[in-house]
Amino acid sequence: MKKSLLLSFCFLLLLSCAKKSAEDQFIDNLLSQMTLEEKIGQMNQLDPSWNAEEKEALIREGKVGSIFNVVGAKEVNRLQRMAVEETRLGIPLVAARDVIHGYHHIYPIPLGQGATWNPDLVERAAQLTAQEALSDGIRWAFSPMVDVAHDPRWGRVAEGYGEDPLLTSTMGAAVVKGYQAEGMAACVKHFAGYSASEGGRDYNTTWIPETQLRDIYLPPFKAAIEAGAMSVMCSFNALNGLPSSANPHLNIDILRNEWKSDALLVSDWGSGSDLVPHGLCADKKEAALRCINARMEMDMQGNIYTDYLAELVSEGKVKESQIDECVRSILRLKYRLGLFDNPYVPEENQTDISAAFAELGTKVAEESAVLLKNNGVLPLNIKHSTLNILITGPLAHQKKEQLGTWVFDGDTSLSVTPLMAFNSQHSTFNIIFEPGLTYSRDKSKTGIQKAVKAAKKADVVLFFCGEEAILSGEARCRTDLNLPGAQSEMMDALAATGKPVVMIVMAGRPLTIGKQVEQAAAVLYAFHGGTMAGPALYNLLTGMAVPSGRLPITFPKMVGQIPLYYNRHNTGRPSYDPPMLIDEIPIGCPQFSIGQSSYWLETPTEPLFPFGFGLSYTTFEYGETTIDTIVNDQQSSINRTSYLVQSSIKNTGNYDAYEVAQLYAHQLSGDLVRPIKELKGFQKIFLPAGESRLVSFTVTPEDLGYWHEKHDGLVSQVWFATDKAEFKFKIAPNSDISL
Ligand code: NOJ
C-alpha cells in the first residue's frame, strides 16, 4: 500500500515537473532568441488610444508587450496581427482593460458586492463578466482591487470590498477564480497599503507599521495569490516613505520570497515615472533603476523602461539577468493564457450573456442592498388597490449613474432604472414621477417644490438619492460626506409632508445620513447597483425579494470620526457611557472634572451603523454561542488549540430569508494589544420562516494568529504566531457586540 502510494506520488511529481518544464522550456527557448531591445519591448505596456500612429509603429517594431484600453475583437486582432505577423519573433500582445464590476452588463460596485457576503454569487458574476470581456478581446482584467479601506472619504472605497481583511480576502479570491476559470487573467491591486492614504486623499502617503500591514492590508493579496491570481499591480502611494514600484520589500521579499508567487508584477499608470515627483529619484533614469531593482516587471504607460533600461544595462548598472526575470513573468502569463497558440479572438458570434445576466445581475443587486431602517412601511403593500407611489429624487431614473464608477464599457442603454422597473409592472398601484432634482449635486429649489406637491397626493414617497457615479472612484475623494446638492433640503421638505418617505441611497461610499435616517420611514442602502438596479430595488421594496445585504464597512455619524472601523483597539482609556458632550460641560469647568477617556466632545464613539449590520423583513433569533476545544496540546511550545464554535439560528418571522451569521473573536491578552473583535468566519444561510439551523465554525490557531514585532537596536523582526491566550467567540448578526 505504502509502496504504491509512494509510486503514485513520484508519478505525479514527475508529471508536474514535465508539465512545468514544457512551459519553462518554451520560455527559455524564446528568451534565448530575444535581443535586449525585444526583451525591453515586452516590458512595455501601452494605451494605443493616445498617439495611435506612433504607438502602432512601436508594436510593429516589437517594442510593446501589452496593450490596454483597446476594445473590440476586430481592433484587438488588428493590433495583434502587427505583433504576431510583423515582428521578428511574433510574440503576441496581451490586451488588458479595467474590467472592474462587469463589462457591458454591469454588476453593483465592488463595495456593494462586498455587502452581499456571498462569494459564490460574486464568483459567478466574475465568470460571466469574463465571458463578455473575452469575446471583445480582453485577456487581462485590472481587478479585483482588494485594498482594505477604513476611510469613506477616499473615493476608491467604492472599488474594494470594505474594511475587513477576511471579507475582502474571500471576495477578492472569488473574483480571481471567476475570471481565471474562463481564461481571463486577474490583476490583484494595488500592492500595497494604497487605501490608508492620509486624509482619505487619493495617491497620498501611507504610514503603516509592518505588523498592521501584514494583519490588515496584505491578507487579501495573499488570498488572491493563493487563489491563483496571474498578476499583481503596484500601488501609486509611498508606503512608509517608499513608493511601491520601487519597494523591494513588498515586491521581492514578500511577493516572491515569502509567498512564492510567480504572478506578473505590473506598475500602475506611470507609477514608475512618478518616482520623480514623489521626490525619490532625481530623474526618470534613476526611477527606471529603482523600479527594476525592486522587480517591477512591466511598465504601464511610463516609458521609463523603453527609454532607459538599455542604457542602464550598457553602463553595467542593471544585469541582463534582471531583465530576463521580468520577461520570463510576462511570457509566462501569455503562455498560460494560451496566447502563443491562439493569439486572435473570434470576431463573429460574440458571446451574448444577456439572458444569464438578467437573472444574475438582479440577484447580485438584490443581495448588495442593505436595509438600514424599517418602521414597517416596507415591503410596500402593492396589492392595496389605491396605493399612490411617488417616485422622486435625482437617482430614480438615471441609467448612467446607477452603474457607478469604472464602467468604461458599460452599456448605459441596458440599464433598467427604478422608475422603469415600477412602470413595467402591471399592478394595482399608481406611479407619480417627479424627480425634484435632476442630478445629485443639483441645488435648484423649484424642482423640490414640485416634488413636495406630488408627495402630498401620494401614500408613500420613494426618494432615490445619493451620489452620481462620478463622485466616487479614482481621485474622487470628499471631505463632506453629506448628501450632495440640495438633497438634504429635499428630504426635509418631503418629511415635512408627513407622508412616509422611503429613502433609497445609491452611492459609492458610506454617507453621513444620520439626520435623514431619523426622518425616513425606511432606508435601503443600495450603493450603485449596476444595470439591473431597478428590478432589484423593485423586488426588494415590494417584498418579492427579502433584503439580505450586510454592511461591509462601518458607517460614521460624521466625517470627524473617520477612520472608524469595528476591529479597532480598546485603548487604555476606553470611552465610558455616556461621555460628557460639548454642550454639557459646565462653564469654567476645571480640566480634570470631565474624565479622561477616549471620546470626542461632539459625538459618541459609536458609528451610525456598525460593520456587518443589515435588517431583513423577517427576524432571526440567535441561540447561545457554544465553544468546544477540539485540539489542545498544552505541551507544545506553539499554540495548537482549535475551537468548534456553534450557534443555532432561528427564523422567527414570516418571510423565508437569508441571514449572514458572523463569527467574531477576541483575544483577551497577548504579546501585543489585540483588536476588540475580529471577524473570523461568516456564512450566508437560507432559512425558511419558522426553521432553525445550527451553524458551525472551526477556528484554527492559524485563524487566530497575528504578526508580532521585536526590535533589537535598529533591526526589527516580525513573525506570525498565535499566543497562548484566552479567546472569546460570538456568533452574531453584526459586529455590534461586546466580547
Ligand atoms: C490607474 C488606476 O489606479 C488603476 O487601478 C487602473 O487599473 C489603471 N489606472 C489603468 O487604467
Contact 672, 720 (CB under 8 A): no
What pLDDT shows up at residue 211?
97
| Domain's final residue, options 495, 521, 542 | 542
What pLDDT shows up at residue 580?
83
Domain at 419, CATH number: 3.40.50.1700
Q: Is residue 125 part of a domain?
A: no
CA of 40 to the centre of ligand 1 (A): 22
Specify the number of domains making up the chain.
3
Cell representation of residue 25 = 522550456
DSSP characters for 249-263?
IIIIIIIIIIT----
Q: Is the same domain home to 529 and 665? A: no
Q: Which of 67, 99, 142 should be mutated for ligand 1, with most atoms under 8 A from CB?
A: 142
Q: Is residue 607 part of a domain?
A: no
Three-class SS of residue 687? strand
Q: Which of 269, 301, 409, 472 should be mutated for ligand 1, with most atoms under 8 A from CB?
A: 269
Q: Is the same domain home to 531 and 676? A: no
What pLDDT shows up at residue 1?
40
Q: Is residue 554 part of a domain?
A: no
Instruction: Provide the 8-state DSSP code for 65.
Output: S
Using 50 as the pLDDT threshold, list the residues of the chain that sit under it. Answer: 1-2, 5-6, 9-10, 12-13
CA of 269 to the centre of ligand 1 (A): 6
Q: Identify whether 24 is a catalytic site residue.
A: no
Give the residues surrounding ligand 1 with Cβ less than 6 Å away: 98, 142, 189, 268-269, 474
| Domain's final residue, options 510, 542, 574 | 542
Kindly report whether the peptide bond that precedes residue 144 is cis, defined as omega within 30 degrees of 0: yes
What pLDDT shows up at residue 181?
98
What pLDDT shows up at residue 612?
99
Domain that holds residue 717: 620-732
Q: Is residue 480 part of a domain?
A: yes
Instruction: Provide the 8-state DSSP code for 402.
Output: G
Cell representation of residue 554 = 462601518
What pLDDT shows up at residue 639?
84
CA of 406 to the centre of ligand 1 (A): 10
What pLDDT shows up at residue 428?
77
Q: Is the same domain home to 395 and 487? A: yes
| Domain's final residue, options 494, 524, 542 | 542
List, in order, residues 6 or more apart from 452 with CB less than 8 Å away. 493, 494, 496, 497
Q: Is the same domain home to 535 and 629? A: no
Nearest CA owner, ligand 1 atom 7: 142
Q: Is the same domain home to 408 and 522? A: yes
Integer-rounded Cα radius of gyration of the chain: 27
The owner of cell 491563483 is 228
Q: Is residue 320 part of a domain?
A: no
Q: Is the same domain home to 519 and 625? A: no
Q: Is residue 380 part of a domain?
A: yes
Give me the catalytic one of 268, 274, 442, 723.
268
What pLDDT shows up at residue 21?
86
CA of 727 to the centre of ligand 1 (A): 41
The owner of cell 438600514 is 372
Question: Measuring CA to CA, how many Å separate 228 from each of 160, 216, 220, 263, 266?
Answer: 19, 20, 13, 8, 16
d(CA 566, CA 553): 8
Q: Is the same domain home to 538 and 687? A: no
Instruction: Provide the 8-state DSSP code for 213.
Output: I
Nearest CA owner, ligand 1 atom 1: 269
Q: Is the same domain home to 367 and 505? A: yes
Q: Is residue 86 part of a domain?
A: yes
Q: Is the same domain home to 500 and 646? A: no
Domain at 630, CATH number: 2.60.40.10
For residue 529, report the phi and psi dihedrals to the nearest 5 degrees. -85, -5
Q: Which of 203, 204, 233, 267 should be mutated for ligand 1, with most atoms under 8 A from CB?
A: 233
d(CA 723, CA 704): 8
Q: Is residue 75 part of a domain?
A: yes
